């Protein structure tokens, strides 16, 4: 399932860990009890760690028995666009977990809606969850507009969630060869190029289908948007086909650059999307995958993928074979000419420690490319905790919130191959009941921390690392010293391949303010641009480089906006249009992160002269913001 | 153009701008060649892609060739080995493929430099079954799975093997329509929905399900209408109307420790089969349910029926335990209050060694070895799934946990990287344990030594029939058993289309070679005479260093009385 944070497969969700790591965590928490012989009752001293871990592996089923665990509910309704409830839809509930703690009382991760479309999950531990309706009978979840995307999708105990389903669209057509003969059982793929709002997206789509014995295919249950449709081989499984060596053919009969786009509406059907199959033999990219930690289990799967973000995310995957010398050979067939990035991955399932190679550019031009060596590197991790500072002012609140209900997003830059602009993506992780987090499966990169707070009264005061001497020379981005709190927030944490960083502290304080209002167009009476960002910029000179004091949010289609979790102080507000070609699933990093962008933003914000002063717990409404 | 040429031209896959010629395809160093033709309706078929796959690499980089104007294909430069050659022709079925899952095309055992010619691959245009599924109000059923069964030689319905990744073809689309194509000749039944039968462990993600209905409106197999499929046939309007839906149910319960009664969190629970007299019969189907902080669990979407509720140890729950199955009868209500007791299982730990070689490359294979343990219960019947598995560590140590009490047989897990390694003997505290290792309930057995040997020798052979013909549609398997070993995990090889086979990666020793048929669900029953004769075929061969031995096995069918 695609998430709005980008390919789940490329960036781990951070909720997997190696067995060894997990056991050590439990040791530290001191929560394991041994109550069966023959494992002797021993104190938790490091001398006896070895026998301890043996005992742990047997008896760790006695993981935290939270006596009288506090539990709550999440309720909701699944409806169609006219508001009618949809019965018998399966809804999935998944926690943003950091470890293997059981999160639900009764582990109810599925529920079905009743005749009125209502559903309920009970016995839930105070965590953060995602609630997703299973696409069913041609209906899909209505896409969330870009202005609501940053907060949506996270639900805490006590929430009531409404999920709107819309009828998907359909695309049908026929695949034939130059002589008009049907192509049987060829895989046809839909790839979204623009979403329903017309924003460009990279690499979205629906699931592929096969042609039948007359060459016809039918793809239904598609999100509304604009698509290209193409044939593709899929040589990852044990089923070879006669099309495996061919390059993709895009509707009507072309390569990606000259493909005809198809617009799909909710409940609409576009027929006659025929493909005249070209069947040009593509090239082969082949080589070896080496590295990884020690001797790999024979059961860990190795995958190599080729992606082409520049021309619209063509990707090829490969079958691999283990050789006698322990290396893995790979060969990707049917590759058309172009510039790609190739990455190998291993493990990450069934508690296999994951490894990946650094994405490498590859150019295919008229010939096979062989001898590509990909070296698997371990993933790194970032660990730390949130702390809640006792603040002089505490806002009124109806219920007691725990740190466990916060989330941490790690945001990082992705530089696609070719000339496409950089994008940022996020990994979102939950916290333990002590407010601790460990995000696993991180590749070498520079990570910015974006805490997501569960209520309006908190704001992030500071982010620090324990190690003042970490010398980050990450794979991407300039080197920076993480020696001061402001540095971590501003330049993020640079992680080397396989590096495990701990001791990050996010200090949260009570007393946050909020401001909401509307954007006024630059000229009286003119229309607002389609995508508008509202920026909050600290007006005090002392805070000019404090990244934590900056915020940006998308305005809704009517120009309204809301900014929460703001530290008290003086601010400017300004609205700026987002560039037309900015993909909605891959926005660039926030302006505040880059010194030059920040300076530019400050100039524009100051020029608009919309200044506010926020006191602790204050809520300003109806604020007018001008567009630059 | 004649009708036949038209049928042929459908097979011309996209090579329109190049003259269609057989491409000789070379693979790694080797000197064997394979050539033959692809036939459709007795005539050569051109432009068909043929693939030559090996047992260990499968389709990965497998050589491919297209048939020429005379339907001929040609592969050269092949190393010796075991191959299967098949035509890749979606929508067409090959008589060889239809009966055996995962075994496609013709098997060929090639020797170095051997020239195999006249391999004939026949393809036939598959049949089509298409129609619509609606409910009792005439509304289309969307994404409803169709079940296909094929009648065997005795008109008993049996499941159908799927030979392509196109599973969607067995499901209705958003209009309630389906179209299944490429079917081999035969007599079929089509149905929709779930049958509540003993032994079927079904959990769905849905709240509603339809009781099984066969085409056109039959609730039982005997009333179902048979659909005749022949070469190129098309049966349309195979419409099915379902009855009213029923509800799946939920099962609520708790996992507790059998000794202390304390709840246990993080344990996965699922369904197991039940015998007629109400005992757990084995098998396991996961339900996605895992016990929560208070030990509670809820299974969602279980079909009515009789089941055993069992807990399954896995990495996440810490493993090493067994559970007492709880028998439940699910009807039209939620089931609550199921208490699943878990207790510490028995375990076997020790060390694996490779004898007879100091080669570090071979010794390094230790960490590729997986050990599987199967328990024959000596108690009142199986509790949890009675098997365990463990990977061997780099130093050769291992521990298999989560076993019930009984007699444990240890074998090697099947990773192709381990070929060449075989279990020579198993010792417990220095004494050989050929019958297996006895474990008591919860006993932690140590001091087990699994001794492996590494083999590089091979037995090459031929299986010949005299005085009769082999029954049609059957394939045979040759197995090699070391005479000093109990019959366990015998290595073997499929006997190819020419009656030849090679069994590789054997350590030195004396072996007994036997032949057995692969199970063919659709074929004619083999007569008891035939079975008796074939089980009496055996030869002995001694393997010692440096060479491979040949053996010939002869089945003399003229020996049986009153043959058919």
pLDDT digits 0-9 by tens, B493-512: 889 888 999 998 888 888 99
Chain B partners within 8 Å of A103 (Cβ): 292-293
Gap between the Cα atoms of A292 and B391, Å rounded = 18
How large is the average pLDDT for residues A534-543? Answer: 92
Least confident of A453-457, B71-75, B93-97, B129-133: B93-97
Chain B 478-517, residues with CB within 8 Å of chain A CB atoms: none
Gap between the Cα atoms of B359 and B353, Å rounded = 13
pLDDT at B317: 67
CA atoms within 13 A on the CB side of A194: 12
pLDDT at B171: 94
Residue A283 DSSP SS3: strand
Query: Could you tell me which of A315, A322, A317 has the C-alpha nearest to residue A300?
Result: A322
pLDDT at B474: 80
Please tell me which residue of chain A has the smallest CA distance to B260.
Answer: A35
Residue among B58, B174, B208 whose CB faces A238 most closely: B58
Asked if pLDDT for residue A5 goes beyond 90, the answer is: no
Contact A210 B168 (CB under 8 A): yes
Name the pLDDT band for A478 (thresholds 50, 70, 90): very low
Query: Could you tell me which of B236, B36, B26 has the C-alpha nearest to residue B117?
Result: B36
Chain B partners within 8 Å of A168 (Cβ): 174
> Radius of gyration of chain B from Cα atoms?
27
CA distance A289 to chain B (A): 15
Name the pLDDT band for A541 (thresholds 50, 70, 90): confident
pLDDT digits (tens, 9 = 90+) for B282-339: 778 887 788 877 888 888 889 888 999 998 877 666 678 888 889 999 988 999 999 9
Distant-in-sequence, close-in-space partners of B154: CB < 8 Å, separation ≥ 6: B525
Please tell me which residue of chain A has the smallest CA distance to B168.
Answer: A209
Query: Is A134 part of the contact surface with chain B (CB cutoff 8 Å)?
Result: yes
The dihedrals phi and psi of A53, each to the nearest 5 degrees, come to -70, -25
CA atoms within 13 A on the CB side of A102: 34
Gap between the Cα atoms of B173 and A209, Å rounded = 11
Contact yes or no for A201/A192 (Cβ under 8 A):
yes
pLDDT at B422: 79
Gap between the Cα atoms of B542 and B96, Å rounded = 34
**Which helix or strand (DSSP H or E) is residue B148 part of?**
strand B146-151
DSSP-assigned letter for residue A136: B
How large is the average pLDDT for residues A82-99? Answer: 83
Name the pLDDT band for B205 (thresholds 50, 70, 90): confident
| Residue of higher predicted confidence among B72 and A477 | B72
- Count of other CB atoms within 10 angstroms of residue B483: 10
Burial A409-433, CB ≥16 within 10 A → b, else e:
bbbbbbebbeebeebbbbbbbbbbb
Chain B partners within 8 Å of A221 (Cβ): 174
Query: Could you tell me which of A375, A451, A379 has the C-alpha nearest to residue A411?
Result: A451
Q: Determine what percent of chain A is predicted with pLDDT higher than 90.
A: 32
Tell me which of B292, B389, B393 to substitute to probe the interface with A (most A C-beta atoms closer than 10 Å): B292
Query: Is A209 part of the contact surface with chain B (CB cutoff 8 Å)?
Result: yes
How large is the average pLDDT for residues B509-536? Answer: 84
Gap between the Cα atoms of B65 and B76, Å rounded = 11
| Residue of higher predicted confidence among A85 and B357 | A85
**DSSP track, B250-301:** EEEEEEEETTT--B--S-EEEEEEE-TTS-EEEEEEEEEEE--TTSEEEEEE
Chain B 28-57, residues with CB within 8 Å of chain A CB atoms: 48-49, 51, 53, 56-57
| Residue of higher predicted confidence among B22 and B127 | B127
pLDDT digits (tens, 9 = 90+) for A325-359: 667 888 888 888 888 889 888 876 656 677 888 88
pLDDT at B170: 94
pLDDT at A22: 31
Query: Could you tell me which of A199, A163, A146 has the C-alpha nearest to residue A4?
Result: A146
Chain A partners within 8 Å of B294 (Cβ): 66, 69, 105, 123
- Count of other CB atoms within 10 angstroms of residue B332: 8
pLDDT at B225: 95
Residue A97, judged by CB atoms within 10 A of its CB (0-12, 13-18, 19+), counts as: buried
Asked if pLDDT for residue A33 goes beyond 90, the answer is: no
Least confident of A149-153, A561-565, B550-554: A149-153
Contact yes or no for A75/B335 (Cβ under 8 A):
no
Query: Could you tell me which of A576, A575, A573 has the C-alpha nearest to residue A611?
Result: A573
Gap between the Cα atoms of A438 and A420, Å rounded = 32
Least confident of A491-500, B44-53, B254-263: A491-500
CA distance B200 to chain A (A): 22
Give the alpha-carbon dihedral of A434, A435, A440, A444, to 10 degrees. Answer: -140
pLDDT at B123: 93
Asked if pLDDT for residue A45 goes beyond 60, the answer is: no
pLDDT at A274: 97
Query: Is B145 part of the contact surface with chain A (CB cutoff 8 Å)?
Result: no
CA distance B546 to chain A (A): 21
Tell me which of A240, A281, A300, A404 to substitute to probe the interface with B (most B C-beta atoms closer than 10 Å): A240
Residue among A38, A64, A242 whose CB faces B13 most closely: A242
pLDDT at B393: 84
Query: Is A331 part of the contact surface with chain B (CB cutoff 8 Å)?
Result: yes
Residue among A123, A137, A235 whose CB faces B296 most closely: A123
Contact B14 A278 (CB under 8 A): yes
Q: What is the separation, in whole angstroms, between the first and last Cα of chain B?
A: 45
Least confident of A501-505, A543-547, B491-495, B516-520: B516-520
**DSSP track, A59-105:** HTTS----TT---EEEEEEEEETTS-B-TT-EEEEEE--SSS---BT
pTM: 0.81
Instruction: State the Cα angle at A212 between A209 and A217, rounded to 5°.
Output: 45
Gap between the Cα atoms of B261 and A306, Å rounded = 53
pLDDT at B467: 85
Helices and strands, number each (H, E), in chain B = 3, 45
Contact B49 A110 (CB under 8 A): no
CA atoms within 13 A on the CB side of B23: 16
Tell me which of A102, A188, A294, A352 to substitute to probe the interface with B (most B C-beta atoms closer than 10 Å): A102
Gap between the Cα atoms of A296 and B209, Å rounded = 43
Contact yes or no for B330/B336 (Cβ under 8 A):
no
Residue A516 DSSP SS3: strand
Chain B partners within 8 Å of A244 (Cβ): 59
pLDDT at A324: 65
Asked if pLDDT for residue A60 goes beyond 70, the answer is: no
pLDDT digits (tens, 9 = 90+) for B3-44: 333 233 333 333 222 233 333 333 457 899 999 999 999 999
| Residue of higher predicted confidence among A102 and B249 | B249
Q: Determine what percent of chain B is predicted with pLDDT higher than 90.
A: 35
Gap between the Cα atoms of A578 and A519, Å rounded = 14
Asked if pLDDT for residue B75 goes beyond 90, the answer is: yes
**Which helix or strand (DSSP H or E) is residue A157 part of?**
none
| Residue of higher predicted confidence among B39 and A4 | B39
Asked if pLDDT for residue A20 goes beyond 60, the answer is: no
Gap between the Cα atoms of A314 and A259, Å rounded = 13
CA distance A60 to chain B (A): 5
Query: Could you tell me which of A371, A299, A385 has the C-alpha nearest to residue A330?
Result: A371
Query: Could you tell me which of A557, A525, A535 has the C-alpha nearest to residue A628?
Result: A535
Query: Is B265 part of the contact surface with chain A (CB cutoff 8 Å)?
Result: yes
Name the pLDDT band for A21 (thresholds 50, 70, 90): very low
pLDDT at A6: 29
Distant-in-sequence, close-in-space partners of A24: CB < 8 Å, separation ≥ 6: none
pLDDT digits (tens, 9 = 90+) for A368-404: 999 999 998 888 889 999 999 876 658 887 777 888 8
Least confident of A191-195, B7-11, B26-30, B54-58: B7-11
- Count of other CB atoms within 10 angstroms of residue A582: 15
Chain B partners within 8 Å of A246 (Cβ): 14
Name the pLDDT band for A203 (thresholds 50, 70, 90): low
| Residue of higher predicted confidence among B389 and B11 | B389
pLDDT digits (tens, 9 = 90+) for B376-388: 766 555 554 567 8
Contact B293 A299 (CB under 8 A): no
CA distances from A135 to A77, A113, A164, A262, B300 (A): 15, 13, 11, 22, 18
Residue among B60, B89, B367 whose CB faces A295 most closely: B367
Name the pLDDT band for A267 (thresholds 50, 70, 90): very high
Query: Could you tell me which of A421, A419, A482, A401 has the C-alpha nearest to residue A448?
Result: A482
| Residue of higher predicted confidence among A309 and A275 | A275
pLDDT at B364: 78
Gap between the Cα atoms of B321 and B442, Å rounded = 9
Query: Is B162 part of the contact surface with chain A (CB cutoff 8 Å)?
Result: no
Burial B441-461, CB ≥16 within 10 A → b, else e:
ebbbbeebbbbbbbbebbbbb
CA distances from A436 to A215, A502, A506, B342 (A): 55, 11, 10, 31
Query: Is A111 part of the contact surface with chain B (CB cutoff 8 Å)?
Result: yes
Tell how far CA A449 is from the center of its chain: 14
Residue among B56, B128, B321 whose CB faces A61 most closely: B321
Chain A partners within 8 Å of B368 (Cβ): 295, 297-298
Asked if pLDDT for residue A621 goes beyond 90, the answer is: yes
pLDDT at A586: 67
CA distance A58 to chain B (A): 6
Chain A partners within 8 Å of B51 (Cβ): 240
* Positions of E strands within A476-550: 493-495, 500-510, 513-520, 532-538
Gap between the Cα atoms of B180 and B162, Å rounded = 11
Least confident of A613-617, B36-40, B466-470: B466-470
Chain A 25-54, residues with CB within 8 Å of chain B CB atoms: 35-36, 38
pLDDT at B525: 76
**Which helix or strand (DSSP H or E) is residue B352 part of?**
strand B346-355
Q: What is the separation, in whole angstroms, between the first and last Cα of chain A?
A: 38
Residue among A90, A138, A168 whose CB faces B206 most closely: A90
- Count of other CB atoms within 10 angstroms of residue A148: 11
Contact yes or no for A344/A374 (Cβ under 8 A):
yes
Query: Is A200 part of the contact surface with chain B (CB cutoff 8 Å)?
Result: no
**Which helix or strand (DSSP H or E) is residue A138 part of?**
none
Least confident of B4-8, B344-348, B396-400: B4-8
| Residue of higher predicted confidence among B15 and B265 | B265
Q: What mean pLDDT is reported for chain A?
A: 77
Name the pLDDT band for A38 (thresholds 50, 70, 90): very low
Asked if pLDDT for residue A270 goes beyond 90, the answer is: yes
Helices and strands, number each (H, E), in chain A = 4, 41
The dihedrals phi and psi of A319, each to the nearest 5 degrees, come to -90, 150
- Count of other CB atoms within 10 angstroms of residue B324: 18
Contact A295 B394 (CB under 8 A): yes
Residue B430 DSSP SS3: coil
Asked if pLDDT for residue B341 goes beyond 90, the answer is: yes
């Amino acid at each position: 399932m695609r998430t709005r944070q980008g390919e789940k497969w490329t960036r781990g969700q951070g909720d997997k860990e190696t067995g060894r790591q997990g056991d050590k965590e439990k040791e530290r928490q001191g929560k394991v009890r041994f109550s069966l012989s023959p494992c002797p009752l021993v104190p938790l001293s490091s001398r006896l760690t070895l026998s301890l871990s043996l005992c742990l592996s047997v008896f760790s089923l006695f993981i935290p028995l939270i006596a009288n665990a506090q539990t709550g509910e999440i309720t909701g309704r699944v409806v169609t666009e006219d508001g009618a409830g949809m019965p018998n839809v399966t809804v999935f509930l998944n926690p943003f977990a950091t470890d293997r703690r059981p999160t639900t009382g009764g582990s109810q991760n599925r529920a079905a809606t009743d005749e009125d479309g209502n559903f309920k999950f009970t016995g839930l531990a105070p965590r953060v969850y995602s609630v997703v309706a299973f696409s069913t009978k041609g209906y899909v979840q209505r896409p969330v507009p870009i202005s609501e995307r940053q907060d949506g999708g996270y639900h805490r105990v006590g929430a009531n969630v409404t999920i709107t389903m819309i009828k998907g669209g359909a695309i049908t057509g026929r695949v034939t060869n130059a002589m008009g003969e049907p192509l049987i059982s060829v895989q046809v793929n839909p790839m979204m190029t623009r979403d329903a709002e017309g924003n460009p997206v990279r690499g979205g789509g629906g699931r592929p289908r096969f042609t039948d014995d007359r060459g016809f295919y039918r793809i239904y249950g598609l999100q509304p948007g604009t698509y290209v449709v193409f044939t593709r081989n899929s040589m990852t499984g044990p089923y070879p086909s006669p099309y495996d060596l061919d390059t993709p053919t895009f509707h009507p009969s072309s390569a990606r650059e000259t493909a005809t786009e198809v617009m799909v509406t909710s409940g609409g059907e576009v027929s006659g999307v025929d493909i005249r199959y070209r069947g040009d033999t593509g090239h082969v990219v082949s080589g070896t995958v080496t590295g990884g930690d020690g001797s790999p289990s024979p059961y860990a799967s190795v995958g190599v993928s080729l992606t082409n973000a520049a021309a619209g995310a063509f990707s090829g995957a490969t079958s691999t074979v283990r050789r006698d010398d322990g290396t893995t050979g790979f060969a990707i067939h049917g590759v058309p000419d172009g510039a790609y990035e190739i990455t190998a991955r291993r493990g990450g399932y069934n508690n296999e420690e994951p490894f990946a190679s650094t994405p490498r550019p590859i150019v295919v031009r008229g010939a096979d490319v062989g001898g590509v060596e990909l070296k698997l590197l371990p993933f790194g991790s970032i660990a730390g905790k949130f702390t809640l500072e006792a603040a002089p002012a505490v806002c009124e609140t109806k219920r007691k919130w725990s740190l466990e209900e916060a989330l941490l997003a790690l945001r990082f830059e992705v530089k696609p191959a070719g000339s496409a602009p950089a994008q940022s993506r996020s990994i979102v992780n939950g916290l333990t009941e002590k407010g601790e987090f460990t995000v696993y499966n991180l590749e070498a990169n520079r990570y910015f921390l974006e805490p997501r707070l569960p209520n309006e009264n908190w704001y992030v005061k500071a982010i620090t690392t324990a190690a003042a001497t970490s010398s980050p020379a990450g794979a991407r981005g300039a080197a920076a010293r993480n020696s001061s709190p402001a540095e971590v927030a501003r330049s993020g944490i640079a992680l080397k391949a396989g590096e495990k960083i701990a001791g990050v502290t996010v200090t949260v304080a009570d007393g946050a303010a909020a401001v909401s209002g509307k954007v006024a167009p630059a000229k009286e009476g003119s229309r607002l641009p389609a995508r508008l960002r509202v920026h909050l910029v600290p007006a005090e000179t002392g805070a000019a480089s404090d990244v934590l004091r900056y915020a940006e949010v998308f305005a809704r289609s009517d120009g309204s906006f809301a900014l929460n979790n703001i530290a008290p102080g003086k601010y400017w507000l300004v609205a700026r249009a987002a560039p037309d070609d900015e993909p909605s699933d891959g926005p660039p990093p926030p302006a505040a992160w880059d010194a030059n962008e920040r300076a530019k933003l400050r100039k524009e914000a100051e020029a608009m002269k919309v200044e506010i002063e926020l006191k602790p717990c204050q809520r300003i409404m109806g604020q007018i913001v001008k567009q630059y | 153009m004649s009708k036949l040429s038209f049928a042929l031209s459908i097979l011309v896959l996209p090579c329109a701008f190049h003259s269609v010629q057989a491409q000789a395809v070379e693979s790694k160093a080797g000197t064997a060649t394979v050539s033959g033709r692809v036939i459709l309706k007795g005539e050569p078929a051109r432009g068909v892609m043929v693939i030559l796959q090996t047992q260990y690499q499968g389709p990965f980089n497998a050589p491919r060739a297209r048939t020429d104007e005379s339907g001929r294909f040609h592969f050269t430069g092949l190393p010796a080995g075991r191959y299967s050659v098949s035509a890749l022709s979606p929508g067409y079925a090959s008589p060889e493929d239809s009966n055996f899952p995962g075994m496609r095309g013709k098997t060929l055992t090639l020797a170095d430099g051997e020239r195999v010619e006249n391999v004939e691959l026949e393809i036939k245009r598959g049949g089509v079954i298409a129609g619509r599924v609606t409910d009792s109000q005439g509304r289309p059923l969307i994404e409803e799975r169709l079940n296909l069964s094929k009648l065997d030689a005795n008109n008993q319905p049996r499941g159908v093997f799927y030979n392509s990744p196109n599973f969607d073809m067995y499901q209705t689309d958003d209009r309630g329509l389906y179209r299944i194509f490429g079917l081999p000749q035969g007599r079929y039944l089509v149905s929709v929905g779930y049958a509540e039968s003993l032994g079927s462990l079904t959990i769905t993600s849905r709240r509603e399900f339809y009781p099984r209905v066969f085409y056109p409106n039959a609730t039982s197999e005997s009333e179902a209408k048979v659909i005749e499929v022949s070469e190129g046939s098309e049966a349309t309007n195979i419409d099915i109307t379902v009855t009213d839906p029923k509800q799946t149910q939920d099962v609520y319960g708790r996992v507790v420790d059998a000794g202390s009664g304390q709840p246990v969190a993080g344990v996965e629970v699922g369904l197991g089969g039940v015998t007629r007299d109400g005992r757990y019969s084995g098998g396991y189907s996961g339900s996605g349910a895992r016990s929560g902080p208070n030990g509670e669990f809820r299974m969602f979407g279980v079909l009515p029926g009789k089941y055993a509720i069992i807990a399954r140890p896995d990495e996440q729950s810490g493993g090493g335990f067994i559970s007492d199955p709880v028998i439940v009868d699910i009807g039209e209500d939620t089931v609550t209050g199921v208490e699943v007791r878990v207790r510490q299982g028995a375990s076997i730990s020790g060390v694996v060694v490779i004898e007879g070689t100091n080669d570090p490359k071979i010794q390094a294979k230790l960490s590729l070895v997986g050990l599987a343990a199967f328990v024959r219960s000596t108690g009142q019947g199986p509790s949890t799934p009675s098997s365990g598995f463990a990977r061997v560590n780099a130093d050769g140590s291992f521990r298999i946990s989560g076993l019930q009490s009984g007699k444990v047989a240890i074998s090697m897990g099947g990773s192709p990287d381990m070929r060449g390694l075989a279990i020579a003997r198993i010792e417990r505290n220095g004494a050989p344990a050929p019958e297996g290792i006895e474990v008591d309930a919860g006993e932690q057995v140590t001091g087990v030594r699994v001794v492996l040997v590494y083999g590089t020798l091979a037995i090459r052979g031929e299986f010949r029939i005299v005085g009769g013909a082999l029954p049609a549609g059957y394939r045979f398997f040759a197995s090699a058993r070391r005479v000093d070993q109990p019959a366990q995990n015998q290595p073997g090889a499929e006997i190819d289309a020419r009656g030849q086979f090679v069994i590789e990666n054997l350590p030195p020793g004396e072996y007994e070679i036997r032949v057995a048929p692969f199970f063919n669900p659709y074929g004619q029953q083999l007569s008891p005479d035939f079975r008796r004769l074939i089980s009496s075929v055996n030869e002995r061969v001694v393997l010692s260093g440096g060479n491979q031995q040949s053996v010939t096995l002869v089945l003399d069918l003229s020996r049986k009385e009153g043959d058919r």
